[in-house]
Structure 1
Amino acid sequence: MKSLSVFASALVALTLLANPLAAKSDEHKKPAFNASWPKGRVTGFPIPRFVSLRSERANMRVGPSTDYPTKWVYSARGLPMEITEEYGNWRRVRDQDGATGWMLAPLLSSKRTAVVGPWLDRPAALNERPRPKARMIARLSPKVRLDILDCDGNWCRVSLRDRHLSGFIDQTLLWGVYPGEVID
């Protein structure tokens, strides 16, 4: 577990070093995180940040201890969550509907996922290419879960969970990715 943490720290450091260079060469691709971004008290990773549920079943608690009552029980592996605070082995998280509470860190994964914007009142286009006028592959209803393959700051290449379908979606239509965030 410690070697995974060291690897993740190195990966974050490399990303922070590489993204400013990418931003200089292509101004529309701005990194979501930079050196001035607040860091978690425990991990040193950026706060806030998106993660996903690792576990098939995860309890969100009122406070950072098993002594606190369960607020919600999630049974959707891969659901994106936003970490907003760290306390020991606990992470304060927020879900796509705005519910907040505390989860044990081992229940969370750094694997990036997203949902089609819960705020949308119509389906979002999954395109063949990262362009507004590209051929549409599918219409995705709000809250459909997606695996993030990469994002360029404007478009994300995604795959539909448990299906053999992938394409591009406008990054602003996703919850689980920050505006302008570049994911490689």
Structure 2
Amino acid sequence: MKSARLVALAALALSVAAGAAHALDFKSVGANPAVLYDAPSAKGRKVFVAPRGMPVEVVLTYGDWTKVRDAAGDLSWVESKMLTAKRSLIVSANSAKVRASAEDGAALAFTADKGVLLDRLDPAASGWVKVRHRDGQAGFVKASEVWGE
């Protein structure tokens, strides 16, 4: 009886951990470019200067520092104050089709090449994300064609 409870408790703990592993937290580099370091300290080695608006996945926060993963999968540290909750996305497809509405057959609003930053206007719903290009054009892109959602 006791071992059955332990097995059930372990299974519950694993399912909770698995669910939490899927919850990704994204932020973007704020109004100014941010230096990314190999350690949570300004004395660490500078590995990259992230442009403003660049989306990053938050891995963990440690004091005033945040460990982040970029679109290439590289891990580094950034001062937390350099990040903003305002979300940007980066086009991961060779050419993303941004549509007037969230449908494959909808009119084409514009296309965006790989690496282009888009402002996220609304979170993904039914596989589509509402976005805006810096020139003001807006529309819906498939969530699978962008990174940072």
- What TM-score results when the alignment is normalised by the length of structure 1? 0.66
Q: 1-side partners of 2:133 and 2:40: how far apart?
A: 33
Higher fraction of strand: 2
Output the aligned Cα RMSD: 1.7
Q: 1-side partners of 2:41 and 2:136: how far apart?
A: 39
Q: 1-side partners of 2:129 and 2:23: how far apart?
A: 22
Is the aligned partner of 1:65 residue 2:41? Answer: yes
Given that 2:60 and 2:67 are in contact with CA atoms closer than 8 Å, whether structure 1 keeps it comes out as yes
Given that 1:47 and 1:83 are in contact with CA atoms closer than 8 Å, whether structure 2 keeps it comes out as no
Q: Percent identity?
A: 28
Residue type matched to 1:130 in 2?
Answer: A
For 1:97, the equivalent position in structure 2 comes to 72
- What per-residue deviation string (whole Å, max 9, x for no partner) do you get for residues 134-180 of structure 1? 1111111011100011121411110002x120001111111000xxx
Unaligned residue ranges in structure 1 (runs of 5+): 1-35, 39-45, 178-184
Given that 1:47 and 1:85 are in contact with CA atoms closer than 8 Å, whether structure 2 keeps it comes out as no
Q: How does 1:16-165 map to 2 (within 5 A)?
A: 36-37=19-20, 48-74=24-50, 76-117=51-92, 120=93, 122-150=94-122, 151-161=124-134, 163-165=135-137
Which protein has the larger Cα radius of gyration, Structure 1 or Structure 2? 2
For 1:7, the equivalent position in structure 2 comes to none
Q: 1-side partners of 2:99 and 2:83: how far apart?
A: 30
**Inter-CA distance 153–93: structure 2 relative to 1 (3 Å threshold):** farther
Unaligned residue ranges in structure 2 (runs of 5+): 1-18
Q: 2-side partners of 1:130 and 1:103: how far apart?
A: 35
Q: How far does residue 57 in structure 1 lie from its aligned partner after superposition?
A: 2.0
Given that 1:89 and 1:105 are in contact with CA atoms closer than 8 Å, whether structure 2 keeps it comes out as yes
